[in-house]
């Protein structure tokens, strides 16, 4: 596929957090002034020596907590991105925690051309937030949301978590109802996962909290039913949007197009190479200061690699995958035994196949998406 026909995304990782949430296993740093200055210097250098072959279509600032940066630092970071991007992005998302949403920061982001704010709400329930180790409280969510709207942002995502410790169907329904009442353009709902070396993992291993996988599945289905009934399009297993408000940056990633990651621990998929930056501030800065671009976990991607991921992530999307489109992109001979594999999934009521071409996960299939991905790799590639 011609690279010029492929959308280019830019992911910028901001590793700073005021505290570590009990469920978080991401690399992060404390926001001391010296570290912030080192980070900003490093981002400017990294963006200068990245050889982009076309303008950037979408930008996503994730973390960590990008909104933790003071307004002046956000301005500096944004200007560096605009200088590198070659144009104002079609979509520019910045993640913010409710406690970091301030009027001066929002004004800076709006002036830079940021189009979308993604706020990590997680829950509207005070006890659930305390159990997750979150710093904000429900009152701050509403204050932050009003500030974002007052600043003129017309595209807002709210992140929610489901299957929280002590959360039942009634509590989940209240969270979803409250999220829908605020009427954001986009909602992301993630089932709580217990990552090793996190506070929640320790509590689980000590028996202080328990996991009920059957209840988790029921809560998944309840979430999907409630949000689709509220008018949201279930366009990816964990993501819902109003018509035309899907996250373009994430769609670009799920369709195995190309993106460049900058900042410590950021990952890239660019010019048929998948790689990541060092997940450590000092090591990352050494990479940036080097005359030769240094990368970690470098994988030269074959057409088969891209096809595998295009199928796995494509199946997670509401529109599913098109065998014909995959044939055009990767060649019919590359599809191997995919057709027979999909037929076997259909027999188990895990997918639907329409017109012999369009393959979509059923409700049952969505609940077993991870298992299907593993079996697909074993059976078809």
DSSP 196-251: TTSHHHHHHHTTSS---HHHHHHHHHHHHHHHHHTT-EEEETTEEESTT---HHHH
pLDDT tens digits, 5-50: 458 999 999 998 765 444 444 455 566 899 999 999 999 999 998 8
Domains within the chain, CATH numbers bracketed: 3-253 (3.20.20.70), 303-380 (1.10.10.920)
Q: What is the mean pLDDT of the chain?
A: 87
Place of tokens 């999907």: 224
* Contact (CB, 8 A) for 39 and 2: no
Supply 213's token pair.
């996988």
For 17, 104, 201, 281, the CA distances from 198, given in Å and listed in that order, are 15, 33, 5, 21
Q: How far is CA 201 from the centre of its chain?
A: 22
- Sequence-distant (≥ 6) Cβ neighbours of residue 194 within 8 angstroms: 23, 200, 201, 204, 211
pTM over 0.85: yes
Residue 298 has pLDDT above 70, yes or no: yes
Residue 204 has pLDDT above 70, yes or no: no
Output the pLDDT for position 216: 78
* Contact (CB, 8 A) for 13 and 62: yes
Output the pLDDT for position 128: 75
Q: Which of 195-204, 359-368, 372-381 is predicted with the least confidence, judged by mean pLDDT?
A: 195-204
For 1, 36, 39, 277, 284, the CA distances from 43, given in Å and listed in that order, are 30, 11, 6, 12, 10
* Contact (CB, 8 A) for 3 and 257: no
pLDDT tens digits, 75-128: 999 999 999 998 999 999 999 999 999 999 999 999 999 999 999 999 998 887
pLDDT tens digits, 207-218: 555 555 677 788
Q: How far apart are CA 92 and CA 117, in angstroms?
A: 8
Output the pLDDT for position 130: 77
Task: Name the pLDDT band for 219 (thresholds 50, 70, 90).
Answer: confident
């Amino acid at each position: 596929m011609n690279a010029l026909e492929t959308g280019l995304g830019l992911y910028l990782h901001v590793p700073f957090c005021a505290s570590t949430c009990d469920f978080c296993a991401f690399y992060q740093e404390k926001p001391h002034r010296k570290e912030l200055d080192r980070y900003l210097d490093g981002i400017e250098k990294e963006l200068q020596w990245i050889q982009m072959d076309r303008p950037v279509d979408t930008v996503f600032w994730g973390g960590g907590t990008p909104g933790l940066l003071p307004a002046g630092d956000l301005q500096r970071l944004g200007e560096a991105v605009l200088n590198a991007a070659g144009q104002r992005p079609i979509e520019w998302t910045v993640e913010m925690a409710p406690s970091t949403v301030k009027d001066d920061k929002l004004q800076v982001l709006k002036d830079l051309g940021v189009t979308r704010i993604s706020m990590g709400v997680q829950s509207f329930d005070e006890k659930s937030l305390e159990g997750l180790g979150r710093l904000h409280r429900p009152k701050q969510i509403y204050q932050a949301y009003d500030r974002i709207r007052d600043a003129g942002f017309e595209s807002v995502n709210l992140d929610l978590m489901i299957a929280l410790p002590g959360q039942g169907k009634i509590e989940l329904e209240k969270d979803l109802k409250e999220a829908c009442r605020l009427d954001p353009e986009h909602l992301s709902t993630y089932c709580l996962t217990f990552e090793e070396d996190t506070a929640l993992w320790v509590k689980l291993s000590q028996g202080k909290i328990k996991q009920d996988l059957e209840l988790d599945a029921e809560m998944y289905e309840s979430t999907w039913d409630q949000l689709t009934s509220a008018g949201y399009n279930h366009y990816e297993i964990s993501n819902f949007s109003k018509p035309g408000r899907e996250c373009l940056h994430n769609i670009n990633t799920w369709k195995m197009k190309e993106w460049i990651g900058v900042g410590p621990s950021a990952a890239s998929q660019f010019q048929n190479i998948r790689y990541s930056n060092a997940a450590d501030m000092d090591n990352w800065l050494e990479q940036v200061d080097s005359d030769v671009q240094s990368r970690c976990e470098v994988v030269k991607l074959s057409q088969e690699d891209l096809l595998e991921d295009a199928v796995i992530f494509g199946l997670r999307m509401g529109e599913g995958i098109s065998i014909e489109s995959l044939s055009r992109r990767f060649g019919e001979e590359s599809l191997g035994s995919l057709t027979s594999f999909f037929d076997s999934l259909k027999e188990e009521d895990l997918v639907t196949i329409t017109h012999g071409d369009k393959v979509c996960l059923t409700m049952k299939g969505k609940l077993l998406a991870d298992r299907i991905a593993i079996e697909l790799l074993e059976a078809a590639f």
